[in-house]
Amino acid sequence: MKSFVSQWEKLEWDDIRLRINSKTATDVEWALNARKVGREELMALLSPAAQDYLEPLARKAQRLTRQRFGHAVNLFVPLYLSNLCANDCTYCGFSMSNRIKRKTLDANEIARECLAIRSMGFDQLLLVTGEHQTRVGMDYFRQHLPAIRSHFSSLMMEVQPMGEAEYAELKTLGLDGVLVYQETYHPQVYRHHHLKGNKQDFFFRLETPDRLGRAGVDKIGLGTLIGLSDSWRTDCYMMAEHLLWLQKTWWKSRYSVAFPRLRPCTGGIQPASLMNEAQLVQVICAFRLFAPEVEQSLSTRESPQFRDKVVPLAINTLSAFSKTQPGGYADNKAELEQFSPHDNRHPQQVAEALIQSGLQPVWKDWDRYLGRAPAR
């Protein structure tokens, strides 16, 4: 069965890295003036040479964003259902080897969280768990997804990778989209950071978006964790190749991309490569030129000041007031976190900042009458 693995096997990490780093100012200028940004142009825009062209790159990215998405910025919030995890990953506070309190929300606790989130105005929800298939797997989701969906017009998930049939069933329970970040596209680096558990299987994770496409999931989110490999430029380019494959193969689905940078967490590691804020702007704007129709998301990992400046350039989807631990909204607990958010502003403050920038905060993705009603 076809998957991105067949394309990934043709990509040489070291060759791509050299090609990106060898791009010149002339290549960057050519890419900025190109009618369509392809693979070679993207390499130029991701290259060190492009750092001197940040202003024209940002201007063009902003123009394309307004043309495609208008002034709307969707707001969503993550709901952490559980921090149980059967994996041991060097960069995650939920890793099984970390001695933290473990918690899985029951029906009453979930209802309290949903009510607390709705009271803040959110109508788009991202469900997040650690990867624990026995305790927080399909049985758990069958039990709780319909009730959660009854509170929200849009429901996404960021949980352990599953099979095609499971994703198809989750659609009937109210699921609209899935985020599944590869973390890094370098298999040896991936192996170094995933020490125990099912997440060690690089290829099963790599093929997850294909299973989502076959299951007909409406929205698929890709991401690479900046700082795991020693070449974030190469990881970002590999994700672009992944996006191209998916858009061509599973063209009925929508796509989003994100570039989360490593944040402090329990048992966390030092990044293998550092991406400063200017370089993150460079990547975000480069991807806007490369994929004008694809949503870009920015999380609370970044500072309030940075988010306020960057969102008007190319961001369409924004999390706000994220609590990265189970029970974080109703109980306001600051323990059990997966990572430490940087932007802790109340959602209304984030919305006001968007308005001050001339943007329109949007609290939901669609209305129920359009045919995506919750499962009954």
266-289 pLDDT per residue, tens: 556 788 999 999 999 999 999 999
Strands 317-319 and 72-82: parallel
Specify the pLDDT at position 374.
Answer: 46
Q: Strand pairing partners for 221?
A: 179, 256
Q: What is the CATH number of domain 5-370?
A: 3.20.20.70
The SS3 assignment for 200 reads: helix
Among 158, 175, 276, which Cα is nearest to 217's? 175
Specify the pLDDT at position 95.
Answer: 83
Specify the pLDDT at position 376.
Answer: 40
235-271 pLDDT per residue, tens: 999 999 999 999 999 999 999 999 999 876 555 678 8
Cα distances from 304 to residues 79, 270, 300, 309, in angstroms, run: 21, 23, 8, 9
Q: Which two tokens stand for residue 247?
A: 């858009």
The proportion of the chain whose per-residue pLDDT surpasses 70, expressed as a percent, equals: 94
Specify the pLDDT at position 92.
Answer: 83
DSSP state of 219: E
Kindly list the domain boundaries of the chain, sorted by start residue: 5-370
Cα distances from 54 to residues 16, 185, 279, 280, in angstroms, run: 22, 26, 9, 11
325-371 pLDDT per residue, tens: 899 999 876 555 555 678 999 999 999 999 999 999 999 876 665 55
Q: Strand pairing partners for 76?
A: 319
Which helix (DSSP H) or strand (DSSP E) does residue 194 occupy?
strand 194-196
Specify the pLDDT at position 269.
Answer: 78
pLDDT category at 225 given cuts 50, 70, 90 is very high
Say which amino acid occupies 359.
L
Strands 124-129 and 88-89: unpaired
Distance of CA 304 to the CA centre of its chain: 18
Least confident span in 55-59, 132-136, 176-180, 191-195: 132-136
Give yes or no for a contact between 326 and 339, defined as CB atoms under 8 angstroms apart.
Answer: no
DSSP state of 224: B
- Alpha helices per DSSP H over the chain: 5-8, 13-21, 25-33, 39-46, 54-69, 107-119, 138-149, 164-172, 187-193, 202-206, 208-215, 232-249, 277-290, 304-314, 347-356
Instruction: Give me the residue label for tokens 């900042």.
Output: 353
Integer Cα distance of 146 and 140 in angstroms: 11
Integer Cα distance of 362 and 352 in angstroms: 12
Integer Cα distance of 286 and 237 in angstroms: 10
44-71 pLDDT per residue, tens: 999 999 999 999 999 999 999 999 999 9
Integer Cα distance of 170 and 167 in angstroms: 5
Among 294, 296, 188, which Cα is nearest to 235's? 188
106-134 pLDDT per residue, tens: 999 999 999 999 999 999 999 999 889 88
The proportion of the chain whose per-residue pLDDT surpasses 90, expressed as a percent, equals: 84
Mean pLDDT, the chain, whole residue set: 93
Integer Cα distance of 108 and 367 in angstroms: 26
- Alpha helices per DSSP H over 187-328: 187-193, 202-206, 208-215, 232-249, 277-290, 304-314
Integer Cα distance of 358 and 312 in angstroms: 8
Q: Which two tokens stand for residue 338?
A: 């997966």
Integer Cα distance of 301 and 297 in angstroms: 11
The pair phi, psi for residue 89, each rounded to 5°, is -120, 135
The CB-based long-range contact list for 107-112 (8 Å cut-off, 24+ gap) reads: 107/143, 107/144, 107/147, 109/326, 109/327, 109/330, 110/79, 110/81, 110/144, 110/147, 110/148, 111/147, 112/330
